[in-house]
Structure 1
Amino acid sequence: MTQDMIAQAAAQLLGADLAGWHPVSGGDLNRVLRLRLISGEEVIAKTGPDPRGEAAMLIAIRDAGVPAPRVLGASAEVLVMEALEKAGGLSSIGWQELGAALRRLHQVPGIAYGWERDFAFGKVAIRNAPLPSWPEFWAERRLLAELSALPSAFARRLERLARDLPQRLPAALTPVLLHGDLWSGNVLAADGRLSGIIDPACYCGHGEVDLAMLSLFGSPGAAFFSGYGRLEPEAEDRRPIYQLWPAIVHLRLFGGGYAGLLDGLLRQAGV
């Protein structure tokens, strides 16, 4: 779809007249537009692998009491949602708000490890079919899912780690709702306060997965953890294991510049 087709499809979904639109920067994998309606209201329209699936994720996040855009409409081609305020980064209070919001998200129990439908990051499939144990899910649906597309040296190391996961990850934890792609670019702030979290790739699993992603390219800091609460002592050992999945995704999507990241995380994980 062209940008104009996206804008027209979004306006049609809303049954509204379009006054104008402009592209929004920051989306690496999907087209995102900010629309201005004749009424004066502004909304966000975006494409993606499964707009209806993403709509369901945003609704689940909002139902958990976590700030996220309100879904206004979704079709097979486009998702239309509330335009949240965005200006600058989080202050200390904002980081505390994000920690508390993520804790609320991670208090929503799931019935299985996984999600009701698959999703994707661009050409990388996110396979969410449930499996009976968490180590099995993390091995089969995440660490080994892209094995055939990775250099053989990385593939062998990931296979060794996967065999050891029953000894390194909790098998019987209660699955909780995850954002699934929680990095700073998916956290919106206005005047230092938390506006909302966007671009989810939800499934149910171990809450430490979101924390690992959030700390992959930065550090949440003390204010965040004052809102989120203390982690288990073993969380630090599990962090590189959980960071391997986004590293694999980055290597697949953006190329060999991320090989060093993957290698470093495998070393931290002891393989």
Structure 2
Amino acid sequence: MTGAPSLRKGLEEALGSAIRSLARLADGHNAALWAVALADGRRLVAKVASGRGAGLEPEGFMLRHLAGRSALPVPAVHHADDRLLVMDRIDAGGGITPAVEEHAAELVAALHGITADRYGFPRDTLIGPLPQPNGETADWIAFFRDRRLLHMGRKALEEGRIDAGLMAGLDRLAARLPELIGEPGPPSLIHGDLWGGNVLSRDGRVAAFIDPALYHADAEIELAFTTLFGTFGDAFFRRYGEIRPLRPGFFELRRDLYNLYPLLVHARLFGGSYVGSVERTVRRLVG
């Protein structure tokens, strides 16, 4: 289903409507993005798998989970399988202004108020194109150690993105997690991939969050990631803190610790400077 004629046929079968127009928008790690206009007037976006990665069904599942279990604005999903994902097209424009940050803080704080009995999730999900293991446990430190930090580090080592010396540093850091993390927050539902490209805004408000990587976590891991690429800043954290106060030590220590996970994700995908960022953080935290 890589060309327009076969995509048109597949969409018409999946959606039960004739296609008025198709336009290719972009290519990602594991999928191409198409704008779809249906004869019945609907305007949709189709993701078409490129053959790499774990398939698109998990993304559809995660969006539907957020739509059904939270008030987080996400695009409605019309079809989801491993080859094809079809969603509403969200009208968006403009950057992430302080007003958007404040609205995002209210939405994300409400999401983090949805809690579970255990960290993780009943099924594995994805972070970008990479599998994300979510085996559930009541122990956040063990979850972060085994299913986030060491899992992603070992995969990066296997793929030649990091060397054995850096992996040894991650192992030493893993042994120090109880003292570095202390008492964690409860298992909160998180979006899991809140970089700026996944936050769509319009008229000073958040229009939708897209491309989640959800599971139940200490919410600080989500807050940390919003700072890694400058998604949100002071306006977000001021409003979020009014609703859900941050524990002492987040900005001073745990933000960098938790950002090792997305940095390792990016090291696997892109290598280069992300490996250096991992090295510097490990040196800072373990000496």
TM over 0.5: yes
Q: Residue 12 and residue 252 in structure 1: after superposition, are their counterparts in 2 closer, same or farther (change >3 A)?
A: same
Instruction: State the Cα distance separating 1:233 from its structure 2 match.
Output: 1.1
Q: Which amino acid counterpart does residue 267 of structure 1 have in structure 2? A: R
> Match of 2:254?
238
> Match of 1:83?
89
Is the deviation greater in 150-159 or in 112-121?
Answer: 112-121
> Match of 1:252?
268
- In structure 1, stretches of 5+ residues that fail to align are none
> Match of 1:188?
200
- Deviations 1:52-87, CA, capped at 9 Å, x for gaps: 322232123233111111122222322211111121
Is the deviation greater in 177-186 or in 52-61?
Answer: 52-61
- Deviations 1:193-225, CA, capped at 9 Å, x for gaps: 211110001111111111111110116222212
Q: Residue 122 and residue 97 in structure 1: after superposition, are their counterparts in 2 closer, same or farther (change >3 A)?
A: closer
Is the deviation greater in 136-145 or in 87-96?
Answer: 87-96
Q: Residue 101 and residue 7 in structure 1: after superposition, are their counterparts in 2 closer, same or farther (change >3 A)?
A: farther
Q: For 2:225 and 2:128, how far apart are their aligned partners in 1?
A: 18
Identity %: 33
> Match of 1:31?
32
- Deviations 1:13-65, CA, capped at 9 Å, x for gaps: 21111112122237344322111111232101114634332223212323311
Number of residue pairs the alignment of both structures matches: 271
What RMSD in Å do the two structures reach over aligned CA positions? 2.1
Q: Residue 195 and residue 268 in structure 1: after superposition, are their counterparts in 2 closer, same or farther (change >3 A)?
A: farther
Q: Residue 121 and residue 202 in structure 1: after superposition, are their counterparts in 2 closer, same or farther (change >3 A)?
A: closer
Is the deviation greater in 159-168 or in 69-78?
Answer: 69-78
> Match of 2:233?
221
The 5 Å alignment of 1:198-213 reads 198-213=210-225
Is the deviation greater in 41-50 or in 192-201?
Answer: 41-50
Q: For 1:123 and 1:65, how far apart are their aligned partners in 2?
A: 25
Displacement over 4 Å in runs of 4+: none
Secondary structure of 2:95's aligned partner? coil
Q: For 2:41 and 2:109, how far apart are their aligned partners in 1?
A: 36
> Match of 2:144?
138
- In structure 2, stretches of 5+ residues that fail to align are none
> Match of 1:129?
135
- Deviations 1:80-115, CA, capped at 9 Å, x for gaps: 111111212122211100111100110111232111
Is the contact made by 1:74 and 1:80 (CA closer than 8 Å) also made in structure 2? yes
Is the contact made by 1:18 and 1:35 (CA closer than 8 Å) also made in structure 2? yes
Is the deviation greater in 261-270 or in 137-146?
Answer: 261-270
Secondary structure of 1:84's aligned partner? coil
Is 1:270 aligned with 2:286?
Answer: yes
